Amino acid sequence: MQEILKFNDIEVELSYKNIKNVHLRVHPPLGRVTLSAPENMDKEHLRVFVSTKLGWIRREKKKIITQKREPEYLYVTNESHYFFGKRYLLKITESTKQSKVILHHSKIEITVPKGSDKDFIKNKLYQWYRKQLRLLLAEKIAFYKKEMNVSPQSFGIRKVKTKWGSCNDTTKALWFNIELAKKPKECIEYIVVHELVHLKERRHNKNFILLMNKYMPNWQLRKKELNALPI
C-alpha cells in the first residue's frame, strides 16, 4: 500500500515493506521521491525523518532535473553514439550477410539486412553493448573481489532508469545498467567498486566511505564525472 506524504513543495511516496531499514530515494528523470520503510514503523517518525532530509531532497531534485539528457536517437548513418566514453559515428551497412557490429577507429559499423528499421538496429547495437560491457565488468569484478576479499555470486546487466548499479547483499548478486556501456571505463570501474563495497557495508554511512577511500581513493572524482554525463 502506498501513501503520499506532503511537505510544502515536496511529495514523498511512502511504501511499507518487509525490510529492516528506511530507504529514501530521488529518482530521475523528474525527481520523483520515494520512501520505503519497515512495516511497523510509525508514520510520524517517518515524517520527522523526511523533514530533516528536505534540503538534501531539493538539491537532488535540482541536480536530476538540470542534468543533461541524451538525444532521441534515430540510429542512422553519421549519428553520434558513445562507447566507453568515446564518441563514434554510426555507420549502417545493408547486407545479405549475418548482422554484426564492428568497432572502427572513429565509427561503429552495424551490418543489417536491407530495410531494417530503427528498432532492429538499436537492438543489434545494444546486444553488442551488453557483450562488451559484460567483458569489462567480469574483468573488474575478478580483480576487486580479490582485493576486497568479497564473494559476489553473480552479476547481470539490465536497462533501468533509476540507478547505475545495485547489490543484493542477501543473494550477493550484482546488477549493472546497460547504459554504462556508453560511459568512460573509469566511471564503470567506480560503480563496480561501489557495489562490491555493499557486500561489506549495506548502507551509505561513514564506514562505507572509509571502504571506498581504501579501495578507490579517487572515487569521488569518478562519481562526479559520471553524474555530469548525460543520462
Does residue 231 have a pLDDT over 80? Answer: no
Pick from 7-11, 123-127, 180-184, 227-231: least confident? 227-231
Mean pLDDT of 95-104: 94
Q: What percent of the chain has pLDDT over 90?
A: 77
Q: What was the pLDDT predicted at 185?
A: 98
Would you say 214 and 206 are in contact if contact means Cβ atoms under 8 Å apart? no
Estimate the crossing angle of helix 206-215 against helix 118-148, to 10 degrees.
90
User: Is the pLDDT reported for residue 1 higher than 80?
Assistant: no
Secondary structure of 114-180 as H, E, C letters: CCCCHHHHHHHHHHHHHHHHHHHHHHHHHHHHHHHCCCCCEEEEECCCCCCEEEECCCCEEEEEHHH
| 199 within 8 A of 192, measured Cβ to Cβ | no
Q: What is the pLDDT of residue 69?
A: 81
Threshold 0.85, pTM exceeds: no
pLDDT at 204: 86
Q: Is the pLDDT of residue 216 over 80?
A: yes
**Residues 145 and 102 sit within 8 Å (Cβ to Cβ):** no
**Range 218-225, long-range pairs (CB < 8 A, 24+ positions):** 219/190, 219/193, 219/194, 222/186, 222/187, 222/189, 222/190, 223/190, 225/184, 225/186, 225/187
Q: What value does the mean pLDDT of the chain take? A: 93
Three-class DSSP category at 101: strand
Question: 125 CB contacts (<8 Å, ≥6 apart)?
Answer: 75, 81, 90, 101, 108, 110
Q: Which residues contact 69 (CB under 8 A, 6 or more apart)?
A: 29, 230, 231
- Give the pLDDT mean for 37-56: 93
pLDDT attached to residue 228:
83
Quick one: average pLDDT of 156-171? Answer: 87
**CA-based angle 102:107:110, to the nearest 5?**
40
Q: Show me where the domains of the chain are located.
A: 2-66, 80-128, 130-228
* CATH annotation of 130-228: 3.30.2010.10
pLDDT band at 66 (very low <50, low <70, confident <90, very high): confident
- pLDDT over 70 percentage in the chain: 99
Q: What is the pLDDT of residue 48?
A: 94
Whether 2 has a pLDDT exceeding 80, the answer reads no
